[in-house]
Structure 1
Amino acid sequence: MIRSLVIAALIATPALAVAQDNTPPKRIRNILLQAGETCPRSTADEIVVCSPADAEQFRIPKQFREAPKTDVQSTAWAVRVDRVMEDNQRVLPNSCSPIGTNGQSGCAQRAAEAWSAEKRAVANGQSVDPN
């Protein structure tokens, strides 16, 4: 009796393998569901994969999404000092300005700084604006 069951199982195994269809589906649909939507039914020729859409679709945390602050409290001290120096140099000697005493004396210095910046840009492979 057991022998006949084993023989029947061995004979049925290849028949089960032949009955399975190993062809992939013709279409696979990936759907992001919004609030209130339902997943559509799949057919014999397609697979439907549904997942809910995230409420937070951004990967960047909220604290970094906002525009950077430009008020005085959030400005670095080095930037503040540079701004003060630039403002003061507009009317002081070595400023290359017709306003103030000895303002024209800084024109040669400004030309040398522009030449140096241009040479650094060329060395770094950056384009140089001729103006």
Structure 2
Amino acid sequence: MMMKSLVPLLGTAAIAASLAPAPADAQARPQNVTRIVVFGEDPCPRSTDDNVVVCARKPDSERYRLPEEARGTGTRQESQSWASNARFLETVNETGIKQCSPVGPAGQLGCLDELIDRNAERREEIDRDLTVPE
């Protein structure tokens, strides 16, 4: 239907030329397109007869970063692991003796225990670093 209305406007020769197949030379050589990202002043590889190279240039500061598609975005709750969320939920509202909390009886005892344990671990790390290997 659309073709019949175009015939008087364009003429038969124009339609025949637009519907003609592409030259055999272009159809015979399929070209591969390689897309790469180069950083800073790095050179872009040259294209060959059978391979076209398309380069995207990014600043050198992006060289060792994760690609933008793989970077975590969103709130802390979305990017935090489920294990740490569960660990937090297990200890929320725990009060009492041996719990590091400003609420409840003897909460400071738990804070002192945590401080002592943390310092003992740190001291072990320092001793390990200062030990001369045999």
Highest Rg: 1 or 2? 1
Same fold (TM over 0.5): no
- TM-score norm. by structure 1 comes to 0.38
